[in-house]
A and B are shown apart, each in its own frame.
Chain A
Amino acid sequence: MSKDPAMQLRGNVSYATVTQISGPLIFVSGIKGVGYDELVQVKAGNRHSMGRVLDVSKEVAVIEVFKGTTGLSLGETSVEFLGRGLEVGVSQDILGRVFDGIGAPADGKPEPFVKEKRDINGSPINPTAREYPSEFIETGISAIDGMDSLVRGQKLPIFSGAGLPHNALAAQIVRQAKLLNSSESFAVVFVAIGITHDEAMYFRKSFEESGALANTSMVLNLADSPPVERITAPRVGLTMAEYLAFEEAMHVLVVMTDMTNYCNALREISSSRGEIPARKGYPGYMYTDLASIYERAGKIIGKKGSITLLPILTMPNDDISHPIPDLTGYITEGQIVLDRGLYRKGIYPPVDIALSLSRLMKDGVGKGFTREDHMDLSNQLYASYARMKEVRSLEMVVGEEGLSEKDKMYLKFGEFFEQNFLNQRENQDRSIEQTLDLGWQALSVLPEDELTRVSKEEIKTYMKKS
């Protein structure tokens, strides 16, 4: 927006005409030449805060105040329109640094060197300029590598619940994620949205231990930071990631947690504006809004870097049909779903493979990428695991006695699969070969006739090896 010359030329005028304060919003009247979505400086006594124009007419502008409206009063608040959107300065120096939700340094160090300033909203990537993601990322985690492979440039969220080990899983992915046969430069952008200090510390420590901290940019909006800045924090982080990926040719892994807090902040602002809600009070444009974040992941033809996005969200009441996971699932390229039942059984990571999915897996695995049997094996494991679950529910009704021999084999398969394939240690880094071989080992419990998703040749080649 700073490119608009008319806006740049206009002198910045200050207004003291705040007529209404509602939640995080203030209404300013008697304004002139204010642009939609422009940045504002709000002052009251010695309090300063930034804000953003949400709605503007000839008479009145509606402004959302990032630090919140506490302490503002009608008479003493002055508002200055800055004629540009919220921008963040970028350069390689942002790595190893910590920022707040609007991109200001938060580690007590001076402002990093700024190579250029970028509007945090970005612009949509032209679909004809996108490069289809297809490079397998080995995370060393069997549940992901084997069943729901991650590829460079993918957006793959973790759907979790309160108290489940999603942080441990995300940290493990960051520690272990690497591309097969590759040693290109990488960076991590970590965006905290309304999480606790403890959680943020956990990630920091984990990055430090793995030596990734120097290559990490952290954007922190913690639970006690202003809720409105939860809206800007992911955009600040993604603007940094875009710079690193597409200007500095780095492979950037963006971890954002917790998107549920983001959506709740969106709902709060929407209801302060008196908008008509769609479902559970969330605004009707939440899909579009989330898409404007998630769609910034990807690869661009002719550019070396990539943005891989790993958002984490906690499903309220573990309900996957809640609007937050639901709308997310419609935008992202799959999802990793954590299951409380598996967690209680002591399985880590407790990935519910039936509900999990990687939409880009088919193009990133197989001959030349991982191993030729990967896709068929994974399909077979899915199918057999699904059948096993049916057997388990049957067992609950008829007891083990009532099961056929074949059914009992399925139970054995399920036990092996959960305990040996899914289950691994938090610091265990399995190669893709190890993962696939474990899969074949699990299948070897079942009669060959039951394996209709894999070919006879694959059984011959790989089953024996295990």
Chain B
Amino acid sequence: MRIYRVSGSVVEAEDARGVEMHEIVLVGSEQLVGEVIRINEDHAFIQVYEDTYGLRPGENITPTGHPLSLELGPGLLGTIYDGVQRPLTVLNEKEGELIRRGVSASPLDRNKKWHFIPLLKTGQDIKGGEVLGTVPETDIISHRVLIAPDTKGKLSWVADEGEYALEEAVAKINGEKPIYMYHTWPVREPRPYAQRLEADQPLITGQRVIDALFPMAKGGSAIIPGGFGTGKTVVQHQLAKWADADVVVYVGCGERGNEMTEVLRDFPKLKDPRSGKPLMMRTVLIANTSNMPVAAREASIYTGITIAEYFRDMGYSVALMADSTSRWAEALREISGRLEEMPGEEGYPPYLASRLAEFYERAGRVKTLSGSEGSVTVVGAVSPMGGDFSEPVTQNSLRFVQVFWGLDKDLADRRHFPSINWITSYSQYIHMVENWWVNNVAKDWPALVKETFRLLQAENELESLVRLVGIDALPEDQKLMLLIARMIREGFLQQNAFNDIDTYSSPKKQYLLLKAMIDFYNSSKEVIEKKIPEAKIEDLPIIGEINRARFTYSDEAQLEDLVKRAASAPKSILGEID
């Protein structure tokens, strides 16, 4: 097989008979890694995961016989990879601060010894997905050593508890086949599971507008579309920091280099609110920044989700953030253009929708092959051109996800963050996760949420009226609704990611904040019914205190006290008048 043509990241090969679709090939004298993406008679089209400059027609291409696969085993956590699982820290040590091509490094450290504790015994029949043993990979996560899904047989030997490197066998099947602590799996093939389960457990994110109004479920899928400057990345980072998943996979797909640097700087310092250990211990990072090769960008999403599925198969809840799926779609478009395929909408290939569907369908809560419960939650950021949600990536994604967090340019311009628009956004999980709140936080939670939605909706309708007639023309009860809606916006929906107290709200705090506002509303209503003007309510100093509570109070007792005072404050006006 030889190079016939080079155009950007796509190489056309001649004499390519026998090569398989999606097979990995090594291109040219520097053996650049590429993947076969189309075969036409004896010509094959290869997307190359590295820079193609200097490649010449006539150079050799070597097939490898296997598809693009990952190494899955201990050592993934806390590591940052590029789109095809090359460890970036190792590349930095080997090659210096610039990413050169033709450099390879094994994804998992071959020298490191891991402490292996066997769970299965010699003589047992095993099948794919079973847990052979465990390795304490980090202080938070115990790595369950899985039998590769496509393997089965009788265990003829299992290693004793002890320290082993990855290349040392820890078991044997049928007297011959060695089993290691890691196995490989092709990225484009979803890992199998026993059964799909309903997504009825909330993924608590500590972000109020999400948890209260547009909740995420473990195993669910969501998109966050938003123009530049609307705070997509901050929301994604917040989810990666605070979501109550066991493992987080963060894919920086075609975004800024400094954003990955920020994660690398912050996550080792930030503490997981549940375990108190550094967040990096539960995180795997995949980085294909916007100036890294475009074909590897296409692969990075699959690399991320395959790693997520692998931890799911150990029985963990995994959250995957992909920032941004638009860059992935654009990589598809660029490669499709180089292949001279007939374009669909806005130049995107016609198979964009089916690729998106395949990706989002890999999210889910499942019973694993070994019988435990695991989940992969997927949150994809979308960067629509000009912030216009009618573009193909947003529209096609919406058909396959259950949650839509639409980021709003106007809110962002007013520095209302997170700028999730509460009128247009939705979550199809809101009723499914309600029980969890009722059982674990408070019985009146659904009622509070309902009232919140009602007030925000009313504000939205009244706003246009106010614009015409002025606020003074409204009846007192409607003025009150506007006041409370404003409090909800400022004191609840807004959340400062960079304030130490405000950055994360426990479910209980979310409940108490909302409770304070709605109780204040209800007792103010009673006061207004007694012909007291709404302006009197507006003058109450407790309003400022409630609005600031999100970043001034972290203590539950303080908040409980605030709730009490919020309910009684309006009545003090009656006292004055009597």
Residues on A lying within 8 angstroms of B by beta carbon are: 1, 4, 6-7, 32-38, 55-58, 85, 121-133, 275-279, 284-285, 287-288, 291-292, 295-296, 298, 300-301, 303, 321-323, 326-327, 329-331, 333-335, 354-355, 357, 360, 362, 375, 379, 382-383, 386-387, 393-394, 397-398, 402, 404, 449, 452
Cβ-defined contact, B414 with A125, below 8 A: no
Cβ-defined contact, B347 with A278, below 8 A: yes
Partner of B88, one of A128, A292, A301, A387: A128
21 cross-chain CB contacts under 8 A: A1-B53, A33-B57, A33-B58, A36-B53, A56-B5, A124-B98, A125-B97, A128-B92, A129-B92, A284-B333, A284-B347, A288-B291, A288-B330, A291-B290, A295-B290, A298-B258, A321-B388, A326-B227, A379-B415, A402-B472, A449-B541
Partner of B58, one of A58, A125, A387: A58
Given known A126-B92, A333-B256, A333-B258, contact A386–B334 (CB-CB < 8 A): no
Does B65 reach chain A (CB closer than 8 Å)? no
B258 CB contacts on chain A under 8 angstroms:
130, 132-133, 298, 333, 360
Given known A56-B6, A275-B337, contact A38–B54 (CB-CB < 8 A): yes
A404 CB contacts on chain B under 8 angstroms:
471-472
B548 CB contacts on chain A under 8 angstroms:
452
Given known A331-B256, A335-B229, contact A124–B292 (CB-CB < 8 A): yes
When C-beta atoms are compared, the residue in chain A nearest to B11 turns out to be A36
Given known A37-B54, A335-B229, contact A330–B257 (CB-CB < 8 A): no
Cβ-defined contact, B56 with A56, below 8 A: yes
A398 CB contacts on chain B under 8 angstroms:
469-470
B29 CB contacts on chain A under 8 angstroms:
4, 6
Report the stretch among B150-158, B379-387, B399-407 that lies at the interface. B379-387
Cβ-defined contact, A330 with B5, below 8 A: no
When C-beta atoms are compared, the residue in chain A nearest to B383 turns out to be A330
B294 CB contacts on chain A under 8 angstroms:
285, 288
B368-419 interface (Cβ within 8 A of A): 383, 385-388, 413-415
Partner of A300, one of B6, B54, B97, B252: B97
A321 CB contacts on chain B under 8 angstroms:
227, 385-388
A250 to B264: give the CA distance in the assembly, Å: 26
A313 to B541: give the CA distance in the assembly, Å: 47
Does B208 reach chain A (CB closer than 8 Å)? no
A278 to B333: give the CA distance in the assembly, Å: 9
- Most A CB within 10 A of own CB, among B4, B29, B228, B470: B228
A242 to B550: give the CA distance in the assembly, Å: 45
Cβ-defined contact, A323 with B91, below 8 A: no
Cβ-defined contact, A7 with B261, below 8 A: no
List 17 other contacts, CB 8 Å, given A123-B98, A288-B334. Answer: A1-B53, A38-B53, A56-B6, A58-B58, A123-B100, A124-B99, A132-B261, A132-B262, A276-B337, A278-B333, A287-B290, A291-B290, A321-B385, A326-B386, A335-B228, A383-B414, A397-B468
A452 to B548: give the CA distance in the assembly, Å: 7
B59-97 interface (Cβ within 8 A of A): 80, 88-89, 91-92, 96-97
When C-beta atoms are compared, the residue in chain A nearest to B29 turns out to be A6
The interface bits of chain B over 1-32 (1 if a CB of A lies within 8 angstroms of the residue's CB, else 0) are 00011111000101000000000000001100
Min CB distance, A34 to chain B, in Å?
6
B254 CB contacts on chain A under 8 angstroms:
287-288, 291
B55 CB contacts on chain A under 8 angstroms:
35-36
Cβ-defined contact, B290 with A288, below 8 A: yes
Cβ-defined contact, A330 with B228, below 8 A: yes
Partner of A331, one of B52, B290, B472: B290
When C-beta atoms are compared, the residue in chain A nearest to B101 turns out to be A123
Min CB distance, B488 to chain A, in Å?
14
A382 CB contacts on chain B under 8 angstroms:
414-415
Partner of B228, one of A298, A329, A394: A329
Cβ-defined contact, B413 with A127, below 8 A: no
Given known A57-B12, A335-B229, A452-B548, contact A124–B291 (CB-CB < 8 A): yes
- Most B CB within 10 A of own CB, among A36, A276, A277, A287: A36
When C-beta atoms are compared, the residue in chain B nearest to A381 turns out to be B415
Min CB distance, B474 to chain A, in Å?
13
Cβ-defined contact, A279 with B99, below 8 A: no
A275 to B327: give the CA distance in the assembly, Å: 19
Does B350 reach chain A (CB closer than 8 Å)? no
Cβ-defined contact, A129 with B97, below 8 A: yes
B541 CB contacts on chain A under 8 angstroms:
449
A249 to B18: give the CA distance in the assembly, Å: 53
10 closest Cβ pairs, A-B complex: A321-B386, A291-B290, A57-B5, A129-B97, A329-B228, A37-B53, A36-B6, A123-B98, A127-B260, A295-B291
Partner of B54, one of A32, A35, A296, A387: A35
Cβ-defined contact, B256 with A295, below 8 A: yes
Partner of A449, one of B252, B287, B386, B544: B544
B6 CB contacts on chain A under 8 angstroms:
36, 55-57
A129 to B257: give the CA distance in the assembly, Å: 10
Cβ-defined contact, B327 with A287, below 8 A: yes
- Most B CB within 10 A of own CB, among A38, A128, A132: A128
A128 to B55: give the CA distance in the assembly, Å: 28
Given known A126-B92, A452-B548, contact A295–B262 (CB-CB < 8 A): no
A132 CB contacts on chain B under 8 angstroms:
258, 261-262, 265
Min CB distance, A232 to chain B, in Å?
14
A362 to B415: give the CA distance in the assembly, Å: 14
Min CB distance, B552 to chain A, in Å?
8
B465-491 interface (Cβ within 8 A of A): 467-472, 490
A402 to B469: give the CA distance in the assembly, Å: 9
Cβ-defined contact, A127 with B54, below 8 A: no
Min CB distance, A10 to chain B, in Å?
9
B337 CB contacts on chain A under 8 angstroms:
275-276, 284-285
A122 to B548: give the CA distance in the assembly, Å: 49
Partner of A36, one of B52, B346, B468: B52
Partner of A126, one of B97, B330, B343, B414: B97
Min CB distance, B243 to chain A, in Å?
22
Partner of B347, one of A55, A127, A277, A323: A277
Min CB distance, B293 to chain A, in Å?
8
When C-beta atoms are compared, the residue in chain B nearest to A387 turns out to be B414
Cβ-defined contact, A279 with B385, below 8 A: yes
Given known A85-B53, A276-B347, A323-B385, contact A126–B291 (CB-CB < 8 A): no
Given known A57-B57, A58-B57, contact A127–B327 (CB-CB < 8 A): no
Partner of A383, one of B264, B292, B327, B415: B415
When C-beta atoms are compared, the residue in chain A nearest to B260 turns out to be A127
A32 to B383: give the CA distance in the assembly, Å: 42
Cβ-defined contact, B99 with A123, below 8 A: yes
Cβ-defined contact, A35 with B53, below 8 A: yes
